[in-house]
Amino acid sequence: MALATSSISEDSVQLRIFKIIVIGDSNVGKTCLTFRFCGGGFPGSSEATIGVDFREKTVEIDGEKIKVQVWDTAGQERFRHSLVEHYYRNVHGVVFVYDVTKLSSFHNLRTWLQECEGHAVPALVPRVLVGNKCDLLEQVEVPSGLALNFAKAHKMVLFETSAKDPSQAKNVEKIFMSLACQLKAQKSLPYRGSNRPHSSNERDVAGVTKNICPC
């Protein structure tokens, strides 16, 4: 997997950048989820995204600072322009989002999966499935069991959460941190810098990393 990690200096330390894209139907809450993760808040009003918005957050995993770069893409076909190619280039992780109160957004996940496969995203690139707007309890249309089966069939972890409910902020954080931890654990990401920080990852005899990530 060609994981070209670009690096960026932050107080003269080169940080690895993990590029994570967020895709799904319009109005499922992609922008609000990325806002909650990167900024900690819920935007009062959010317009439909045009093209793609970038947000970044530096996180620390096992003593290494990593810059998580979130590409918040447009769900509306007319706002996607020809950028789609760009979203998927050198992507390190994919977050598929649906709205638990809108069954069609769940059924459309197939289309988003096809688009992702169509851009030759390597199978090794970790993916997660997010059911958003769980705060709207009376309006849920997508049963957890259905979502769990779908997630299992596509080797994804399912997160059912709410970008709006502040008590769910930790859960939203876990979505992106679980991807970042998987990426860090993948040996294929070249480590920059000679003094590799102490990693709490153990290697068993086969060299497979047992990731004991703090996530």
The site for ligand GTP (CB under 6 A) is made up of 26-32, 46, 48-49, 74-76, 132-133, 135-136, 162-164
How many residues are there in the chain? 215
| Distance of closest approach, residue 143 Cβ to ligand GTP, in angstroms | 18
| Distance of closest approach, residue 25 Cβ to Mg ion, in angstroms | 10
| Distance of closest approach, residue 120 Cβ to Mg ion, in angstroms | 25
Residue 134 near residue 160 (C-beta atoms within 8 A): yes
CA-wise closest residue to 65 among 12, 14, 109, 20: 14
CA 96, chain centre distance (Å): 8
Interacting partner of 173 out of Mg ion, ligand GTP, none (Cβ under 5 to 8 A depending on kind): none
Six-digit token string for 21: 């894209």
Q: By CB under 5 A, is residue 49 in contact with Mg ion? A: yes
| Distance of closest approach, residue 133 Cβ to ligand GTP, in angstroms | 4
Interacting partner of 163 out of Mg ion, ligand GTP, none (Cβ under 5 to 8 A depending on kind): ligand GTP
Q: Is 70 helix (H, G, I), strand (E, B) or coil?
A: strand
Interacting partner of 136 out of Mg ion, ligand GTP, none (Cβ under 5 to 8 A depending on kind): ligand GTP
Q: By CB under 5 A, is residue 162 in contact with Mg ion? A: no
CA-wise closest residue to 32 among 99, 106, 124, 126: 99
The number of beta carbons lying within 10 Å of the beta carbon of residue 51 is: 14
Q: Which of 5, 31, 101, 168 binds Mg ion (CB under 5 A)?
A: 31
